[in-house]
Structure 1
């Protein structure tokens, strides 16, 4: 946002509430279609930072018939959001997004969707709604009696008693006819919702189940449809649960094909698919052992790299794809040699699949700048960009906090607002402990669903808080009037839905799947499909979930299959169909299959994208926006598909094996670089390893450099001390020592990667100094010189404790919540910057302390009092 936009948002938030009718017309006064009345309601928070409720965004409910064939019977309220276009002259046809699941909803993620659809909003309004029995539209389909009576189980997740109770409650209810909660009725909701929001024509996006629903809209309720985009496609004629393992299988097939098509990868990792099947079969038989960790490897452990790669929280991190062929080969090497080196697996495991990224360093390495003035200006630009990022984050936090304060002021009475604020602050420490957090959430749900009395509120405080915080909270409870107690419970009840959201969403999926997809899907069909796969054991990741649903849950429901449900959809509506090669929920091949009956469709397979390609790929999102602007546009076949996959990593052991084979066929060599030189001999030094066996360029250099040899010996002593400390633990000593050794192997692999650096010696020395600092800080091999606790972003409960160590490269141990990381000093333009793993850092710049943790957003910290 620019300055003017910021002031406009602040003025709107702090002034009189906006009258939605000034900006949304008839939508704010009942809707355009009396057959689907609209009622406005506050939007679920958080919304986008620049949104002004009532002016740029509005939310509420649309009332639709439960059964469109009997519109005068019972009705269902669907929660919607209407995001106005950024343009003052938007196109007349808006953009409607249909969420997945079924049952997931989207109204709880408005801030994220505002970002994803910002490009669309340059020209069009954006509409979203939670489908019947989904998200915040669950309504009477949420089996409230069962959930309320077993709320402690619902907080934790799925349980047999919850599933059985909900199924019985809903099917016996006189207030709901469960057979009308299906994709056909959903499809008929769509044009009705759009008409009452004021639109005759519209564009449609469906992701996952939303694509299945979009195809049903094209078949059963196509009136007004201008264009359709389907992504992460689930065609209704595909037996989605029989084929549960197909997306993973196809993702593996694509990796194998990509490696085979790359000459370097194919030479390093030939017959990759056969090698993977060998490893999976050995794991299934219990014959894949990792001696150094003392564990038997399961098929799921091997396959885990594929869902980890597709994890949407890692979109901004380097791709895992380049490492996967080496990982597969290293798993397979353990079949014959349980002690085999697995440096790639160690490296990826050490980073917990979150591969490190340093775009600033990458920029410096790749920059083609030699002029001193240009170099200075580049560094100034980098520094300014970093400052802007940090300032933007602080602005976002400030506006978000201000928005919450205003909302609290308007929803609560004064003392109720103060109690809510104090409860939030006092709960910071509790949320750092998962067991305490679950207990708190469970008891809060029971509290809100109980008698809502002052006594029960006081009992809740006494059960979860102590010390000064408890005294302050109890004093507030005692001071509140009966009206203020009621105000607190009324506003707090909105969070109860969030507390049990996970269970309710999963059960909503069962409502759809068990009624309309069974007996089309069966366990027999699932096993038959798995047997035909190129990688049959890819089903290991799905057996439990599919078996639970088809064998245990769905028999509790009555089935209501429809005659044409499994038929191919035929339509001439312009359609863009997208699939991502990482997708673990729907096969990317189904994006093509979905267009079989569509005479005006284009399909594209997007590399390096997961479930919902437009979320992962900027190019796919651009293509979608261009298509919506002009549905007649035909894209070139290579659009968004070429030059996307990064080059594969060739592990050092591959090169070493090739070198060994070459040496075996060559004449005997004379003394070479691997032997100690006069420098090390005169100094009376040799490193911790045998220089005669040195193979990597890093090891060879250490053998010829006395200073590096000293660093190597010192690190060997540090590592031995760390192993002693690990083995001396009272609990988990074996596991800790095995993990430490695995990380050390990963570090050695990283050190040997220094051959890629411009300055080999500097890279090797830096690797040793950083590793020494990590070991000292992690295992307290020295006494810390200082211990400081910092409170971050103005929240005393948001605390990081730093232990500083005077190693040659200064290091620190950072404890934040229940997370611990080690960090070492790196060069910085301003202040002292301690850099850890996973993107963590702590920067000390005068009185300013900045912490960056896993999500990458900077937090401003001060020493805790």
Structure 2
């Protein structure tokens, strides 16, 4: 999970398939169009579509449209080759939340070269997108149900089958949504945009795509950066074993840390006991439906708890709090589970899950057998078998895949890729899905590669590590020379959190809003949405402050609505005078998240300052941020 999740979560809390055309046999071209996503502040990309064959073996077949954005560097000495980002998943959209990820992930790269960001075939803004409402509905509808493993597997397979049948019924050739066609798409984008070579930058599945491009279109590649590597010679069948390895790193890391070991002794035993505990007596809590904003009851068993920890290990920023989170759940505190469930629900639309099934059923599961699947389950800790089977490590997937792709797999899709293209290979020590050994094995077949493992890091190293990012920048300047990686020696294991975190000092800076007011905001917090600033120290950090202006009406008219929406207790209001405005101060709780609201009206407009916080730092943020924000707020004359 990357930093995008932080802003998706905060923004939610605060702000609560087209037919394919006949194929054009001419060279690929870029057709300009309005940007199909929210453009990052201050940027002016060239947006449009590149039409490509759906199935290149059918010269007179359908075409599909790839959504592409080109950000041009204003550096007069920029590199000739642009960098093209390859999203993970498979099925993840790079464009969907680009306005939230651009500053952290791409802005520095843009200083030295053009940056190309696109949605892969079958994904997001590209057409068609292989979205599966059937699977989303199954996920939502099963939240309050405790299903046996067999029931969960069958119902999940039924939803996936229904999605495949619907997509195929619209004319989609599901067997053509694979890494080889995806790689040829990237080459066609290069040609359409007029570039001679590309620098590839892939994370997770994006690394497999990068390797496939290096294999099939080496002439198109100047260099490659692959982060959290998923090479072709492995399949997803080993995912639960990789999770168990990551858990072992976590347990040993806590045990080796004196404070963590004292606060959370026998962490491994407590984790596995919690699985048993919740399988016998599931946790119950409510979450808000990100679409309807209605409360949804949730029942979570031990297998799903294991899945939550699996997903959390992706996020480097949250690894330090995992021992405490595990103990909290074991002791009956469901706040971590409810926040994580809400986070996952808010991202259901961020991945075109049909593309995920299409790729896996074309080039991964066909190389698995009942014997190989059973062997993994037999080797796995028995208490993780339920988690594994509920997440696709089950021989029923072999039959399911016949719905998605009936063709025999190409053996090349299960073979290591050898190349002499300069490649930077990076892995994270705690990564639960693509372990460092995958990176080492991949680098061994790349004659001009540099491999680095980063301590304390999860999945997606470069976006979460200034050290890794600096190494990537050095590599891009000269891909043939080993970059200086001395900063790795200064990196440490996670600083495990053993008690409720204290709030760091907040530096406030003035700002002026286009909505007709001035105020102050935290200097180092990110703007997650217009007028909304989020601390974002980890994916579950809910601390944020939002300034909003509503036209017309008065406070008494909107308070009942706000009370219902944000859990505000309107009968406990106090008043606060500042700069000629009389504010009403209220508090409440939303999804176990403390809420503070200041509201006033003036000349037919309603002004609101809304603060979310974590339970442990509400009081500190109230004094250091909320009250100063009210005192600094002035309406422009």
Interval containing the TM-score (normalised by the shorter chain): 0.5 to 0.7
**1:442 match:** none
Measured after TM superposition, the shift of residue 580 of structure 1 is 2.4
Kindly report which structure 2 residues correspond to 1:690-701, keeping only aligned pairs within 5 A, or say none.
none
Deviations, residues 502-523 of structure 1 (Å, cap 9, x unaligned): 6x81122112211222221346
**1:96 match:** 84
1:276/1:187 CA distance change after superposition, 3 Å: same
**1:167 match:** 164
Greater relative contact order structure (CA < 8 Å, 6+ sep): 2
* Alignment check: 8 A CA contact 2:40 2:98 kept: yes
1:623 aligns with 2:471: yes
1:250/1:846 CA distance change after superposition, 3 Å: closer
- 504, 510, 534: which is aligned to 2:357? 510
Structure 1: distance between partners of 2:419 and 2:335: 50
Measured after TM superposition, the shift of residue 210 of structure 1 is 0.9
- 273, 279, 286: which is aligned to 1:279? 273
* Alignment check: 8 A CA contact 1:822 1:837 kept: no
1:263/1:168 CA distance change after superposition, 3 Å: closer
- 35, 42, 52: which is aligned to 2:27? 35
Stretches of structure 1 lacking an aligned partner (at least 5 in a row) = 1-32, 335-341, 356-433, 439-497, 652-749, 754-789, 826-831, 851-859
1:289/1:268 CA distance change after superposition, 3 Å: same
1:191/1:296 CA distance change after superposition, 3 Å: closer
Q: The residue matched to 1:573 in structure 2 has which SS?
A: coil
1:795/1:539 CA distance change after superposition, 3 Å: farther
- 557, 580, 587: which is aligned to 1:814? 587
Q: The residue matched to 2:88 in structure 1 has which SS?
A: coil
**1:67 match:** 55
User: TM-score w.r.t. structure 2 length?
Assistant: 0.66
Measured after TM superposition, the shift of residue 101 of structure 1 is 1.8
Kindly report which structure 2 residues correspond to 1:141-156, keeping only aligned pairs within 5 A, or say none.
142=130
Deviations, residues 523-575 of structure 1 (Å, cap 9, x unaligned): 65334224324x45344434213158716742423143112111111111111
**1:693 match:** none
Total equivalences in the alignment: 501
Kindly report which structure 2 residues correspond to 1:178-217, keeping only aligned pairs within 5 A, or say none.
178-217=174-213
1:555/1:633 CA distance change after superposition, 3 Å: same
Structure 1: distance between partners of 2:108 and 2:136: 42
Structure 1: distance between partners of 2:349 and 2:596: 37
Deviations, residues 373-426 of structure 1 (Å, cap 9, x unaligned): xxxxxxxxxxxxxxxxxxxxxxxxxxxxxxxxxxxxxxxxxxxxxxxxxxxxxx
Measured after TM superposition, the shift of residue 96 of structure 1 is 0.6
Measured after TM superposition, the shift of residue 204 of structure 1 is 0.2
Measured after TM superposition, the shift of residue 211 of structure 1 is 0.7
- 370, 375, 378: which is aligned to 1:531? 378
Deviations, residues 349-387 of structure 1 (Å, cap 9, x unaligned): 6677989xxxxxxxxxxxxxxxxxxxxxxxxxxxxxxxx
**1:81 match:** 69
Structure 2: distance between partners of 1:354 and 1:624: 33
1:353/1:611 CA distance change after superposition, 3 Å: farther
Measured after TM superposition, the shift of residue 585 of structure 1 is 3.7
Measured after TM superposition, the shift of residue 219 of structure 1 is 1.2
Deviations, residues 187-230 of structure 1 (Å, cap 9, x unaligned): 12222211221111110011111111111111111113111111
**2:389 match:** 543
Give the helix-richer structure, 1 or 2: 1
Structure 2: distance between partners of 1:600 and 1:195: 25
1:244/1:820 CA distance change after superposition, 3 Å: closer
Measured after TM superposition, the shift of residue 161 of structure 1 is 6.9
Q: The residue matched to 1:229 in structure 2 has which SS?
A: strand
When the two chains are superposed, the root-mean-square deviation of aligned CA atoms in Å is: 4.7
* Alignment check: 8 A CA contact 2:231 2:442 kept: yes
Structure 1: distance between partners of 2:80 and 2:106: 17
1:308 aligns with 2:312: yes
**1:412 match:** none
Give the strand-richer structure, 1 or 2: 2
1:160/1:67 CA distance change after superposition, 3 Å: closer
Structure 2: distance between partners of 1:217 and 1:608: 30
Stretches of structure 2 lacking an aligned partner (at least 5 in a row) = 1-24, 142-154, 285-298, 503-544, 552-557, 575-583, 599-608
Measured after TM superposition, the shift of residue 37 of structure 1 is 1.8
- Larger mean CA deviation between 505-514 and 605-614 belongs to 605-614
* Higher Cα Rg, which structure: 1
Deviations, residues 633-654 of structure 1 (Å, cap 9, x unaligned): 3246664364332444668xxx
* Alignment check: 8 A CA contact 1:309 1:321 kept: no
Measured after TM superposition, the shift of residue 269 of structure 1 is 6.7
1:298 aligns with 2:302: yes
* Alignment check: 8 A CA contact 2:418 2:446 kept: yes
1:812/1:516 CA distance change after superposition, 3 Å: same
1:554 aligns with 2:554: no
* Alignment check: 8 A CA contact 1:231 1:579 kept: yes
* Alignment check: 8 A CA contact 1:574 1:631 kept: yes
**1:474 match:** none
